[in-house]
Amino acid sequence: MGEKPVVVSFLGLNFNLTNCLSGTLMAIVIGWFVIWLAKKVSMKPGKRQNVLEFIIDFTNGIVRDNVSDVDAQKHLSLYAFTLFLFIFMMNQLGLFLELTINGHIWIKSPTASPLITMTFAMMTLLLSFNFAMQRFGVGGYLRNYSRPIGFLLPINVLEEFTNFLTLSLRLYGNIYAGEVLLTLIGHDFAHSAGFATVLASAPLAFIWQGFSVFIGSIQAYVFVTLSMVYIGRKVQQE
């Protein structure tokens, strides 16, 4: 990871253009993909519609399994669907596309930077607050922190932070480690001793890429599942 990301300052805020560009790219790809899949929606589904319905069923299954509240399920299913596709695609992006120009890296997995994963974890956290407050009211929501027993209050409050941190850092760690190892194999190891190591690094990189695809999928699934678990726990009284 020797390359520097492109960072510009705008309105006093730092923008990491690498992450912005990669994320936008993936958002466009997902948008195009789902629109393409949903082009001909009919009562008797075609191949594309079947694929889309399969993904929808999959993410709906995650929501159904972890959120018992039916009303919340309805609102969360779209979030779960989009979140899953977005994180999945961002995880995979760095595996096949890393664009480096003049020592600056322009495209890589955005989920390999902690701030992006924290953004998603924060979204989940805020959503869980929102759903809990809609369900129990602000007072009821705050009282839930002292349930089932009063002295658990600090632990419950602390749990919010740990949930947030573990949710974001798990994803970040997995993807970042995958990219580091891929760089180590494909860059440092391959260039260490000439032609022989280049040859030897090819199968290693291939294997690790395959494994990273697996990790990326699993982590997207885990992220969405845990998001739903956290939200689901908030909307039901203990």
Partner 1 sequence: MTFQPLFAALNLEIGDLLYYLIVFAILLWVVKHYAWGPVTKMMEKRRKQVSDDLDHAASDRQRAELLANQRAAALQKSKQDATQIISDARTNAEKTKQSIISDADQEAATIKKQAKADAEQAKADALNAAQAQVADLSVTIAGKVIAKNLSAEDQKDLVDQFVKGLKD
Q: Which residues bind partner 1 (CB under 8 A)?
A: 7, 9-16, 19-20, 23-24, 27, 30-31, 34-35, 37-38, 41-43, 45, 49, 52-53, 56, 78-79, 81-83, 85-86, 110, 113, 115-116, 118-120, 122-123
Beta carbon nearer to partner 1, 123 or 138: 123
CB of residue 134 to partner 1, shortest distance in Å: 18
> Could you tell me the maximum CA-CA distance found in the chain, to the nearest angstrom?
67
**Structure-derived torsion over alpha carbons of residues 135, 69, 41, 223, reported in degrees to the nearest 10:** 90
CB of residue 59 to partner 1, shortest distance in Å: 10
Beta carbon nearer to partner 1, 115 or 177: 115
Q: How many CA atoms lie within 13 A of 12 on its CB side?
A: 0
Q: Determine contact, residues 231/72, Cβ cutoff 8 Å.
A: yes
Q: For residue 114, is the peptide bond before it cis, meaning its omega torsion is within 30 degrees of 0?
A: no
Beta carbon nearer to partner 1, 31 or 210: 31
CB of residue 119 to partner 1, shortest distance in Å: 5
DSSP lists the bridge partners of residue 179 as: none
**Structure-derived torsion over alpha carbons of residues 216, 217, 218, 224, reported in degrees to the nearest 10:** 100
CB of residue 54 to partner 1, shortest distance in Å: 11
Beta carbon nearer to partner 1, 45 or 173: 45
